[in-house]
Structure 1
Amino acid sequence: MTSFLKQPRAVWAVAFACVIAFMGIGLVDPILKEIAADLGATGSQVSLLFSSYMAVMGVAMLVTGVVSSRIGAKRTLLSGLLLIIVFAALAGSSGSVGAVIGFRAGWGLGNALFVATALATIVQSSKGSVAQAVILFEAALGLGIATGPLVGGLLGEQSWRAPFYGVSTLMTIAAVATALFLPATPPQGRRTSLADPFRALRHPALLLLALVAVFYNLGFFTLMAAGPFALPSYGIMEIGWTFFGWGVLLAFTSVVVAPRLQRRFGTLPTLTAVLALFAAVLAVMATNAGNETAIAVGIVVIGGLLGINNTLVTEAVMGAAPVERPVASAAYSFVRFTGGAVGPYVAMKLFERHGAAAPFWFGAAAVTVGVVIVAAGSTTIRRALVDTPSPDPEAEAEAELLGDLA
């Protein structure tokens, strides 16, 4: 425990930046309705704040390895932080919803560059074991995901612009600390290419798992976009607290519950059951779309299911193809983020045309397709998990965590 807490200042600087970076996932949830009202936008238009962020992050995951293997980890980290600082501030200064959407996309690019490099930097710079470094990274991930909606709610009560300015300010502090305390990190290892992740997708098991992730991300992003609008009487802080509960449960189940269920029942049986439960909860929310308590409880419960699901799918991805784990992670992240990014827009279009229940039915149907893919491809996936050689533990830990970002 002593070595875990007594880390170099460089490690704490990067860990702090990780917390702020992961806040970006749920930061905008509490202020979606206020952005729409102030800028005269529709629900489907503000849903593109998620779509642009996730789509650009997914595409950028293809190039993060290319960049870091050529300019080194520190320069990659600082490049990502600088992009987040600039685009978060520009989003807060925007006068149209289109500008906010565009600047949010730039934020996604910065987030991809930073997050894809952060764990390797913490592992390299920390004292103690790799496992302790991973715990520190997981703690930062969980804290950021959980507090993002709460910070968005607290600052959003002043103005919907305040959360964007807050992130930009905090990231500026993190960038200065990283520049001062993190030693130079020259490029290491093999230079990867843009073609590597696409070659990895030729392996059927990896492709199947990536497709599963697309469909459960459609359900996930539907929840993130439609959830606030399905709570019409909830204010900014009430939405913030609801999604704070979602984030806390997601962080807890991904770290604590998922490994225990996996050991007890196995990866694929647990994954199938959790996806089925996810679809069922979305269906219950659809049938109770007029009951705000049911919607709020459903949001929090789904956080727990997502935590389990993220951990199980990502771990399976790491063993699904005989390629370097960061390459597998890049391929998987590209498919899951870019494919799932259409979910918020489609969900909110359904909301506008058919009412509050429609997006949750859409999400339930999408996740059900994921269940079918797991069931149909279980033999292929199981065979790949058995046949793929065990990777280097440090590389496996890094790639697994990079796959847990959504």
Structure 2
Amino acid sequence: MLALVVESSLAAEFGTTEGPEPDNILELAEFLRRDPYDLELLISFGTSKGGSAGHIALAVRSDGAADETVYSANFYADRAPEHEGRFYTKELVVGVPKMEYLFKTTSSLDALAVFGLDYGEVYKRSVIGIRVFGMPSSEKQALVSYFSRINGDYHRHANNAEYHHGEVKYDYLRLNCAKVIGAAFKFGAGYERLEVNDPQLLRGRRVVAAATANVPTEMALKLMEQWNLRQYKMDVVLYKKFEASEYIEPREDPKVAFKNLPDRFPSVLSLDFRREQGEYRDFDNLFAMYLLYNLGRFSVRIDEATKRLRIEKEKEPMTYADAVSLAKTAAKSDSENYRRRALFQPAGIRIGEPASNRHLYHFPDIDSGPALR
């Protein structure tokens, strides 16, 4: 296990940009890298109320490198005047070391990078890492090259690339984090059967069919199916949110301390999308959460008392086939019981919840909320 002890005098500043960091980040990295995974798909939890799809990024492991590089679509690379000069906008696909992305409190990009987004993710929200084993080096290099191509298109203000209609710049619905990752696999690594949606403007206006947008969890599930077809093995690491960060990002509204933000599993587009944290009942969300739990290998968190990283839990992951089968059965049963508002014990375990948290549910009469599909 990864252990303990930091000066108590640092506690007030811990979890803020430029503040102290866990002193065993390198130790954790070395521990995790004992396993020969080739890349890690990083799915960040949502931090907003009433509909939160989260974020998705890709960490690629290179031979001989001390850390993986995380490739992440830049939310502020949308050419909006209010973002220029206030946020990092030099690249559409940002590349940073994985330990920086997760745990560091300083950025290697520049002073305009956003804490909790470009670096130090776990101080703001939890992150699920899907590790992939057995991928050829040529496939990884193809992904990296395609991210470079996307950045080249962004720099020259390209229009109508093979992966996108319109100008190549960030768009929350039309060219978002999930689409960038999906495009790299589909067009860069040759995943021809991977479905990557291309939402279109409606009647020439700035209106998009939101129901066709690519979202992180759905893209992750599609990629997992493709990896299974290629006989790549998978497991999951949960990097849990540090729950005590007092940091407030001064450039974002509303002004809310990280510790008070929701930390919700990133929803698929479903009946659950507008539901609040912990209230998911739709089959698709339950299936995703159960599947990722079944594939779980490690749970990592920052100990609030010692300010050090530790492996909180570990278990043997199921095979992908077994994990899918069990998740489908449990999600079908549980979603039906939720619909009936029955008194029942859930059959599945949601990733991020303790295994003992298998309490009974009894629902009052409430509206189910709007459907997005």
Question: Does TM-score exceed 0.5, indicating one fold?
Answer: no
TM-score (norm 1): 0.26
Structure possessing the higher relative contact order (Cα contacts under 8 Å, 6 or more residues apart) = 1
TM-score (norm 2): 0.27
Higher strand residue share: 2
Higher helix residue share: 1
